Structure 1
């Protein structure tokens, strides 16, 4: 979901200074920017730097609490001061892996060195239990690869390759090339032949970059073949369903949607083109996006939304929209259709303004909440970053500020930031978890929108999990 745009605008303290909403340090600036407020260039620079400092301070505070209460474990439970594992009963340091490149971008080099030390000494994937292939890839393979990019430590690259090799049977044992959903990393045994579109097609960024780094094209080829197999089974309307049996190639859920469980498939089609210049991906992307715009897009009550429809007939199934669908605004912006991205981001902004934080899903005909949970999701924020990069419109910084304010008000607890179980109550009902992606995505996007780093080059690239794979200015350690 998150990459730089083709215009390659640098996000740094020197260049991203257009009337920043300073995340609680000073007042927000609207779409007309500093000229309408009388701010000088120096005012804008100071506001941006203050915002970046605030993000770093909050991240550093939360990180110290993670170190104190959950070090080495997958996720902190910041209300109770405990921890929770994600993949197995035993930890694999998920938060440490997910946070590596954010620590680097925020200049927290000592903390980065300590995290790398734990990973090198403690992390092993020789675990006799089922592991979800998709999550293992975007979180662990991607996190280790980005950790290698920002440190230059070959041990992290070796671990990324080791895990990818343990995941390979999910692809290689499949008759269609579309991966099984689970694999045992110790034995290579695969399971669950019914898989979701996103979990079939969210590998080419990480596996393609791994192929580049180790000089073995097979990772890229496996990832591409899986996407092609799903694409080839599109309907006559150029739509994909939601789940398919990877052994028979038969669709199991024929409802087309842009949100989960299909979402990142579309991101990675674009990425296959953006990262590797493979024209097949660009062609597939164009065909499927045209199908989506023709059969799913609709304007309802003046707002752009995407219906859930039958992939074969186009008949409307539901007007439900998942919060994770927010990614579409940024994807459209970087794919050269910012007008679609703007309109869709506007639609979700209306939802945030109604609830202050996003419900997990809504009925867009009346914006009613169908799921009331807010899982600290980063998609709306990631869309704001990409739209800001593409358009330069400061409204997206203002929207990021409003989300920051809401996160501070509703999610900040004694030991960090927690998910919300009900956004419709007052006060909001809090859960007890900081997901791993919060460290990899949310705080990184806030920091980049604040212009807080000189450690990324113009052509930087972030994966769907926010891991940087291209554009690192130089490793923090040799």
Structure 2
């Protein structure tokens, strides 16, 4: 689930001045050494077509069996709700908007945009998880708007963001409550997790940039400040904060959930908006992570859990979600460490057919043997390929693509695995909506010549939504308007 620009210099420019400071300081390069679409040559070009075919397989099943529902259950052939039972937001449709655009599936994109404009109902009396609503729905609607240039999608994105704002505005600390009711604005969940507090500055920052209303950026920045100013003297953060008192209620320092994407959004905010304070926080926290969490005792780089105030080691479990960190390290200038950490996860693939959701990294024993179609290992492949130019990372992505085809493919598309250690594997019954935004997109960008994506300036959020670098489609013979109009 993660993505941002690669390393590079930006002139010093904060966000304390006029609203125009919310424009990017400079281009936000994903690739530091290469990255043109022409780099996608054989033998990977054939896999570009295969990645589109895989997407179409799952998308067609979703359209046939669960259209308008949040997610597809491909084995039972029905839809499922993500945020709350009995309340749907067409999550898969929203998550797929920019993937459809990149893959040039314009008829499908038109149908998806029509559904959002005609059917998506935000005025539902239900409490939703603020973090998930921002990275999935707000981010998906924004990338859909940037792809199609349809103002209606921007209007819906802003409407949703406004409905989520009470979680930030009524908090005494500025760190958001975990839930908000979309109809009443009532907030709940005072004990919020690190990633959920701090993973919104790109989505809200883009809303500010596009609309000219800096309120969205300001509340996102205030949430990050509420956490960073409460770091320990070791430059470590806990996992859970009481947003009313500012007290840490979870004091374990970790890169794993529920902390993970907090760190990448500090880097994202710096790269997109040149906010020097965000880079300062990111640099300090990264130094703390390497001083107190980095563990090379196995001959590979892993990251332990520790008590945030003392640095005392408390655990040696790693989540596959944390594989994203290999790409973030490379993009933020720690290329050798990023490559080393990706090597660690590649070792896991030597021990398991699919990476388990949780493992003891010293013994490589699965703590949670499920594989929820996680995209993080391939996400890091994309980042490392763009930063280093090494074909090794496309080779690794190809291996994961082959394993997806071998172990997760079903008649209704692709499904999660409940137990990767069983033989044969025990399957679950879900195609997560993020598969359409992340897995499918990462494979396509790695293997295809994505004509509608600028590999040099592209930016993808933690949920894989493209907020920078979308190219306009080539004009059709005889003219015609942009997609989605």
Which segments of 5 or more consecutive residues in structure 2 lack a partner in the other structure?
8-28, 473-481
Measure how far apart 1:303 and its partner are: 0.6
Measure how far apart 1:477 and its partner are: 3.6
Q: What is the CA deviation profile of residues 387-439 of structure 1, one whole-angstrom value per residue up to 9, with x for unaligned ones? A: 00000111111110111111111100010100000000011100000001000
Between 348-357 and 246-255, report the one with greater CA deviation.
348-357
Please name the residue that 1:467 is paired with. 465
Where does 1:137-216 land on structure 2 (aligned, <5 Å)? 137-216=134-213
Give, in whole Å, the separation in 2 of the partners of 1:451 and 1:339.
27
Give, in whole Å, the separation in 1 of the partners of 2:44 and 2:320.
28
Please name the residue that 2:72 is paired with. 76
Q: Is the 8 A contact 1:171 1:222 kept in 2?
A: yes
Please name the residue that 2:226 is paired with. 229
Q: Is the 8 A contact 1:75 1:83 kept in 2?
A: yes
Give, in whole Å, the separation in 2 of the partners of 1:159 and 1:367.
45
Please name the residue that 1:476 is paired with. 483
Give, in whole Å, the separation in 2 of the partners of 1:426 and 1:295.
38
Q: Is the 8 A contact 1:374 1:423 kept in 2?
A: yes
Q: Is the 8 A contact 1:456 1:471 kept in 2?
A: yes
Please name the residue that 2:370 is paired with. 373
Please name the residue that 1:16 is paired with. 40
Give, in whole Å, the separation in 2 of the partners of 1:452 and 1:195.
41
Measure how far apart 1:11 and its partner are: 4.7
2:357 aligned to 360, 365, 375, which one? 360
Between 56-65 and 172-181, report the one with greater CA deviation.
56-65
Please name the residue that 2:267 is paired with. 270
Measure how far apart 1:260 and its partner are: 0.5
Give, in whole Å, the separation in 2 of the partners of 1:205 and 1:456.
19
Give, in whole Å, the separation in 2 of the partners of 1:182 and 1:8.
33
**TM-score between the two structures when normalised by the length of structure 1:** 0.93
Give, in whole Å, the separation in 2 of the partners of 1:164 and 1:463.
16
Q: Is the 8 A contact 1:11 1:454 kept in 2?
A: no
CA 1:12–1:59: 2 relative to 1, 3 Å: farther
Give, in whole Å, the separation in 2 of the partners of 1:134 and 1:322.
19
Q: Is the 8 A contact 1:11 1:456 kept in 2?
A: no
Q: Is the 8 A contact 1:12 1:454 kept in 2?
A: no
Between 281-290 and 60-69, report the one with greater CA deviation.
60-69
CA 1:13–1:212: 2 relative to 1, 3 Å: closer
The alignment's C-alpha RMSD in Å is 1.1
CA 1:71–1:244: 2 relative to 1, 3 Å: same
Show structure 1 runs of 4+ deviating over 2 A: 3-13, 475-478
Q: How many pairs align?
A: 450
Please name the residue that 1:23 is paired with. none
Between 350-359 and 243-252, report the one with greater CA deviation.
350-359
Q: What is the CA deviation profile of residues 87-108 of structure 1, one whole-angstrom value per residue up to 9, with x for unaligned ones? A: 1312110000000000001110
